């Protein structure tokens, strides 16, 4: 399915990013894993080399101001002839609690990791995709489609990723580069543990109780998210771009049959709702 393809995954050392790396490897893609933590990358690489011959890694901070250049150099070192796939799975929740009570530096850090880190990886990867005559970019934007009280830094950053993804779909179309955002759903990762550690006082009683139930029931398997990534990384999704797609709620397997309808409408996009859209006759 992906034999001969070259993939870069930020946040590839653990959690969803690691699961996605494994799925891509099993389909034949060569990998470059990027993360801040070298020990996690090394452990992930040790597992993945059993599935694919080429697994390289680069320990760097996607939130740093030098990240675009550092990621570009890592790509050129590992894949001098270019890449086909970029998955931007690096992300953090940021501070949890009422927005006016949060540490401003930690709030900004979430923007830097989630939004700027996504931009940095894309800016570095696009020239390498042009070498291959096109490519696929998959961003992550769970929480980017609505309000999420007490998680203001997270939703602000992910909302930015949604708009960035749709904007770049237009800019990159001429280069045959498709870009889509994924809403992964409630996966049991370190995010869940961070939320539970915050407690009901900071996370909110309802959110905390839902998260406790998620931990007990198992949540969305990371493999389900990886399945959507495989679809978006494959030729089956050619021409579908600029959309926010749910790994849980959307029947994306049927997208190829409705490609023109999807791309000539604002389905799977975030939009402003006007009064007439809800049947009101006032403005």
C-alpha dist (Å) from residue 228 to 15, 100, 271: 16, 36, 23
Angle of CA points 77, 110, 204, to nearest 5°: 145
Percent of the chain as helix, strand, coil, to the nearest 5: 50, 15, 35
Distance CA 2, CA 231 (A): 11
Residues 143/151, Cβ–Cβ less than 8 Å: yes
* Catalytic residue (one of 154, 208, 252, 268): 154
154 is catalytic: yes
> Which residues are catalytic, by number?
154
């Amino acid at each position: 399915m992906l034999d001969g393809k070259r993939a870069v995954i930020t946040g590839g050392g653990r959690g969803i990013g690691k699961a996605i790396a494994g799925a891509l490897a099993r389909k034949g893609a060569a990998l470059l894993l990027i993360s801040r933590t070298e020990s996690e990358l090394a452990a992930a690489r040790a597992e993945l080399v059993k599935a694919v011959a080429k697994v390289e890694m680069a320990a760097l901070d996607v939130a740093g101001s030098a990240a675009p250049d550092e990621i570009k150099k890592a790509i050129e070192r590992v894949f001098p002839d270019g890449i086909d796939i970029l998955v931007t799975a690096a992300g953090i929740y940021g501070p949890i609690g009422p927005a006016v009570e949060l540490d401003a530096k930690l709030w900004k850090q979430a923007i830097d990791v989630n939004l700027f880190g996504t931009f940095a990886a894309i800016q570095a990867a696009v020239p390498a995709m042009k070498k291959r005559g096109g490519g696929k970019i998959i961003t992550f934007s769970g929480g980017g489609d609505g309000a999420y009280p007490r998680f203001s830094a997270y939703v602000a950053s992910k909302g930015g990723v949604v708009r960035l993804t749709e904007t770049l779909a237009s800019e990159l179309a001429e280069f045959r580069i498709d870009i889509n955002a994924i809403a992964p759903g409630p996966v049991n990762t370190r995010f869940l543990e961070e939320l539970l550690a915050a407690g009901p006082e900071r996370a909110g009683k309802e959110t905390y109780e839902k998260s406790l139930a998620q931990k007990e029931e198992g949540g969305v398997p990371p493999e389900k998210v990886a399945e959507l990534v495989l679809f978006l990384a494959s030729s089956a999704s050619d021409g579908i771009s600029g959309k926010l797609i749910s790994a849980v709620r959307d029947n994306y397997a049927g997208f190829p049959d409705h490609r023109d309808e999807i791309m000539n409408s604002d389905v799977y996009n975030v939009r402003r709702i006007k009064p007439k859209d809800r049947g009101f006759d006032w403005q």
